Structure 1
Amino acid sequence: MNGHLEAEEQQDQRPDQELTCSWGHRPRSALDRAEAMAPPPPPPLAASTPLLHGEFGSYPARGSRLALTLTPQALHIQRLRPKPEARPRGGLVPLAEVSGCCTLRSRNPSDSAAYFCIYTYPQGRRGGRRRAARTFRADGAATYEENRAEAQRWATALMCLLRGLPLPGDGEITLELLPRPPRLLLLVNPYGGRGLAWQWCKNHVLPMISEAGLSFNLIQTERQNHARELVQGLSLSEWDGIVTVSGDGLLFEVLNGLLDRPDWEEAVKTPVGILPCGSGNALAGAVNQHGGFEPALGVDLLLNCSLLLCRGGSRPLDLLSVTLASGSRCFSFLSVAWGFVSDVDIQSERFRALGSARFTLGTVLGLATLHTYRGRLSYLPAAVEPASPTPAHGLPRAKSELTLVPAPAPAPPVTHSPLHRSVSDLPLPLPQPALTSPGSPEPLPILSLNGGGPELVGDWGGAGDAPLSPDPLLPSPPSSPKALLSPITEGVPEMPASSGLPPPTPDALGDIATGGPPDHLLPPLGAPLPPGWVTLEGDFVLMLAISPSHLGADLVAAPHARFDDGLVHLCWVRGGISRAALLRLFLAMERGSHFSLGCPQLGYAAARAFRLEPLTPRGVLTVDGEQVEYGPLQAQVHPGLGTLLTGPPGRPGLEP
Structure 2
Amino acid sequence: MSFVTEDDPFKDPSLDAAPAPQRTTPANVPDTLAVGRNASLTLGTDSLVVLDEALRDTSSAGCCGVSFGRSTKTTRSIAFHNVLWAELADDGDITIQYAHADSKKAVRPAIISYTLDKTESGHASAWIEKLLVRAYGASQRQKRVKVLINPFGGQGTALKTYHKHIAPIFAAARCELEVEQTQHNGHGVEIAQNLDIEKFDVIACCSGDGIPYEVWNGFANRPDAARALVKIALAQLPCGSGNAMSLNFNGTDSPSLAALAVVKGLRTPLDLVSVTQGSKRTLSFLSQSVGIVAECDLATENLRWMGSARFTLGFLTRILRKTAYPADIAVKVEYGDKNAIRELYRAESSKPPRSHDDRTLPAAGTGLPDLKYGTINDPLPDSWELVAHDHLGNFYAGNLAYMSPDANFFPAALPSDGCLDLLRIRADLPRRTSIATLLAIADNKFFDMPHVDYQKVSAYRIIPKNQRDGYISIDGERIPFEPYQAEVHKGLGTVLSKSGHMFEAKGV
TM-score range, shorter chain: 0.7 to 0.9
Q: Does 1:231 align with 2:202?
A: no
Matching of residues 249-264 of structure 1 within 5 Å: 249-264=210-225
Deviation (angstroms), 1:629: 0.7
Q: 2:125 & 2:29 partners in 1: Cα distance?
A: 18
Distance change (3 Å), C-alpha of 1:375 and 1:561: same
Distance change (3 Å), C-alpha of 1:595 and 1:648: closer
Does the aligned pair in 2 maintain the 1:11–1:180 contact within 8 Å?
A: no
Match of 1:13 in 2: 13
Deviation (angstroms), 1:344: 0.6
Matching of residues 330-349 of structure 1 within 5 Å: 330-349=282-301
SS of match in other structure, 2:372 = coil
Q: 1:11 & 1:52 partners in 2: Cα distance?
A: 24
Distance change (3 Å), C-alpha of 1:81 and 1:626: closer
Q: Does 1:623 align with 2:474?
A: yes
Q: 1:121 & 1:555 partners in 2: Cα distance?
A: 29
Deviation (angstroms), 1:362: 2.4
Does the aligned pair in 2 maintain the 1:10–1:103 contact within 8 Å?
A: no
Match of 2:114 in 1: 137
Computed over aligned residues only, the root mean square deviation of the Cα atoms, in angstroms, reads 3.5
Q: Does 1:551 align with 2:503?
A: no
Q: Does 1:54 align with 2:44?
A: no
Does the aligned pair in 2 maintain the 1:195–1:353 contact within 8 Å?
A: no
Match of 1:93 in 2: 78
The correspondence for 2:318, drawn from 341, 362, 366, is 366
Deviation (angstroms), 1:356: 1.8
The correspondence for 1:73, drawn from 24, 41, 46, is 46
- Any gaps of 5 or more consecutive residues in structure 1? 1-7, 22-39, 58-63, 106-111, 167-178, 290-295, 385-406, 411-514, 652-656
Match of 2:393 in 1: 541
Match of 2:327 in 1: 375
Q: 1:630 & 1:323 partners in 2: Cα distance?
A: 13
Matching of residues 501-650 of structure 1 within 5 Å: 516-522=368-374, 524-525=376-377, 527-531=379-383, 533=385, 535=387, 537-596=389-448, 598=449, 600-617=450-467, 618-649=469-500
The correspondence for 2:241, drawn from 237, 257, 279, is 279
Does the aligned pair in 1 maintain the 2:216–2:229 contact within 8 Å?
A: yes
Deviation (angstroms), 1:100: 3.0
SS of match in other structure, 2:13 = coil
Q: 1:313 & 1:369 partners in 2: Cα distance?
A: 44
Q: 2:364 & 2:418 partners in 1: Cα distance?
A: 30
Deviations 1:388-432 (A, max 9, x none): xxxxxxxxxxxxxxxxxxx9989xxxxxxxxxxxxxxxxxxxxxx
- State the number of aligned residues: 456
Q: Which moved more, 1:277-286 or 1:67-76?
A: 67-76
- Any gaps of 5 or more consecutive residues in structure 2? 1-7, 58-71, 337-362, 504-508
Does the aligned pair in 2 maintain the 1:548–1:563 contact within 8 Å?
A: yes
Q: 1:303 & 1:51 partners in 2: Cα distance?
A: 33
Structure (1 or 2) with the greater strand fraction: 2
Q: Does 1:120 align with 2:81?
A: no
Matching of residues 401-440 of structure 1 within 5 Å: none
Q: 2:97 & 2:491 partners in 1: Cα distance?
A: 35
Q: Which amino acid aligns with 1:636?
A: E
Q: 1:381 & 1:636 partners in 2: Cα distance?
A: 12
Does the aligned pair in 2 maintain the 1:312–1:645 contact within 8 Å?
A: yes
Does the aligned pair in 2 maintain the 1:241–1:273 contact within 8 Å?
A: yes
Does the aligned pair in 1 maintain the 2:17–2:199 contact within 8 Å?
A: no
RCO greater where, 1 or 2, for CA within 8 Å and sep 6 or more? Answer: 1
Structure (1 or 2) with the greater helix fraction: 2
Q: 1:89 & 1:554 partners in 2: Cα distance?
A: 41
Q: 1:628 & 1:582 partners in 2: Cα distance?
A: 27
Q: 1:222 & 1:20 partners in 2: Cα distance?
A: 33
Does the aligned pair in 2 maintain the 1:78–1:88 contact within 8 Å?
A: no
Q: Which amino acid aligns with 2:184?
A: R
Q: 1:259 & 1:523 partners in 2: Cα distance?
A: 16
Q: 1:409 & 1:363 partners in 2: Cα distance?
A: 44
Distance change (3 Å), C-alpha of 1:15 and 1:133: closer
SS of match in other structure, 1:570 = strand
Distance change (3 Å), C-alpha of 1:157 and 1:628: same
SS of match in other structure, 1:529 = coil
Q: Does 1:195 align with 2:156?
A: yes
Match of 2:250 in 1: 288
Identity over the aligned pairs, expressed in percent? 26
Deviation (angstroms), 1:104: 5.4
Q: Which amino acid aligns with 1:201?
A: Y
Q: Does 1:310 align with 2:263?
A: yes
Does the aligned pair in 2 maintain the 1:190–1:198 contact within 8 Å?
A: yes
Deviation (angstroms), 1:51: 5.3
Q: Which moved more, 1:374-383 or 1:530-539?
A: 530-539
Larger radius of gyration: 1
SS of match in other structure, 1:121 = strand
Does the aligned pair in 2 maintain the 1:9–1:103 contact within 8 Å?
A: no
Q: Which moved more, 1:266-275 or 1:626-635?
A: 266-275
Q: 1:303 & 1:539 partners in 2: Cα distance?
A: 44
Q: 1:128 & 1:307 partners in 2: Cα distance?
A: 12
Give me the TM-score of the superposition, normalised by structure 1: 0.63
Deviation (angstroms), 1:103: 4.4
Match of 2:226 in 1: 265
Does the aligned pair in 2 maintain the 1:14–1:180 contact within 8 Å?
A: no
Distance change (3 Å), C-alpha of 1:556 and 1:44: farther
Distance change (3 Å), C-alpha of 1:19 and 1:281: closer
Q: 2:480 & 2:228 partners in 1: Cα distance?
A: 27
Deviation (angstroms), 1:115: 3.2
Deviation (angstroms), 1:140: 1.3
SS of match in other structure, 2:413 = coil
SS of match in other structure, 1:627 = strand
SS of match in other structure, 1:92 = strand
